[in-house]
Amino acid sequence: MMGKKHGFNVVDQLAALRRYARSLSRNGDEAEDLVQDALVRAYEKQATFRTDGNIRNWLMSILHNTHIDRLRRKRSVERKHDSAAEMAEQSAPASQELSVRLAQIQAAFQDLPEDQREALHLVAIEELSYQEAADVLNIPMGTLMSRISRARARLRNLEDGAEGDRKPRLRLIGGADD
Half-sphere exposure of 121 (CA within 13 A, CB side): 14
Q: What is the number of other CB atoms lying within 10 angstroms of the CB of residue 23?
A: 10
Contact 57, 17 (CB under 8 A): no
CB 36 within 8 A of CB 77: no
Q: Which residue would you say has higher pLDDT here, 109 or 51?
A: 109
Share of the chain above pLDDT 90, in %: 37
Domains of the chain: 11-90 (1.10.1740.10), 96-160 (1.10.10.10)
Whole-prediction pTM = 0.46
What pLDDT, on the 0 to 100 scale, is given for residue 166? Answer: 45
Q: What is the rounded CA–CA span in Å between residue 174 and residue 172? A: 6
pLDDT (tens digit, 9 = 90+) per residue, 83-101?
888 877 676 666 788 888 8
